[in-house]
Each structure stands twice: as C-alpha cells, then as structure tokens.
Structure 1
Amino acid sequence: MPIRVRKFIGTILIIILVLFYAIVANTIAVATLGNAPWWGHLLYFALTGLLWVLPAMVVIKWMAGPKQQ
C-alpha cells in the first residue's frame, strides 16, 4: 500500500479514535464522578487525557509503514 494512502487512512482513524475516546471518557466521567472531590476529577481527566496516546501510537506506527532496510 502506498505511503500516501496509509497516511490518509491513518489520519481518518486517529480523528475517529479521538472523537470516540472523548465521548466515552466524558460519558464515564458524568456517570461516575458526580460527587467525587476535585482531585478525583483532576486524576481522572489527567489519566484519560494521556491514555488516548497509546492507541494513537499504534496507528502512527502503522502509518509509517515497514522499516526500510
């Protein structure tokens, strides 16, 4: 698969991932953090704000293609 097609598909996948992840993370926060203290909110959103990077790294690695030898 050409690298330009991989990058296009990867870009679309990352956009979908971020939108889906944000909706799910906020839905869980609304359902569970209603009466939590401020530091609970801080920890939750700090963790979920960084956690989306892990699946995005997999997509970016795929976008780069196989290693050149």
Structure 2
Amino acid sequence: MPVRLRKFIGTILIVVLVLLYALLANTIAVATLGESSWWVHLLYFSVTGLVWVLPAMLIIKWMAGPRQK
C-alpha cells in the first residue's frame, strides 16, 4: 500500500478514534460520576485524557509503514 494512502487512512482513523473515544468517555462520566467529588472527576478525566494515545500510537506506527533497512 502506498505511503500516502496509509497516511490518509490513518488520519481518518485517528479523527474517528478521538471523536468516538471522547463521546464514550464523557457518556461514562455522566452516567457514573454525577455525585462524585472533584478529585474523582480530576482523576477520571486525567486518565481518560491520556489513554486514547495508546491506540493512536498503534495507528501512527502503522501509518509509518514497515521499518526500512
């Protein structure tokens, strides 16, 4: 697969990932953290704000293609 096509598909995947992940994380927060204290909210949104990076890294590695020798 050409590199330009990989990058285009990867960019679309990352945008979709971020949108779906934000929707899911906020839906879970609204459903479960309604009466929680401020530090629980801070902890939850700090963790969920960083976790999306893991699947995004995999997409970016795939976009870069196989390692050149």
Aligned structure 1 segments of 4 or more residues deviating by more than 2 angstroms: none
Per-residue deviation, residues 4-39 of structure 1 (Å, max 9, x unmatched) = 000000000000000000000000000000010000
Q: Distance in 1 between matches of 2:37 and 2:6?
A: 44
**Counterpart residue number, 1:18:** 18
Cα deviation for residue 48 of structure 1 reads 0.2
Gaps of 5+ in 2: none
Superposition pairs of residues 1-69 of structure 1, within 5 angstroms: 1-69=1-69
Q: Distance in 2 between matches of 1:9 and 1:38?
A: 39
Q: Distance in 2 between matches of 1:4 and 1:43?
A: 38
Aligned residue pairs, count: 69
Amino acid paired to 1:5: L
TM-score, with normalisation over the residues of structure 1? Answer: 0.99
Q: Distance in 2 between matches of 1:47 and 1:24?
A: 14
Q: Distance in 1 between matches of 2:2 and 2:33?
A: 45
Q: What is the identity percentage for the equivalent residue pairs of Structure 1 and Structure 2? A: 74
Q: Distance in 2 between matches of 1:68 and 1:19?
A: 32
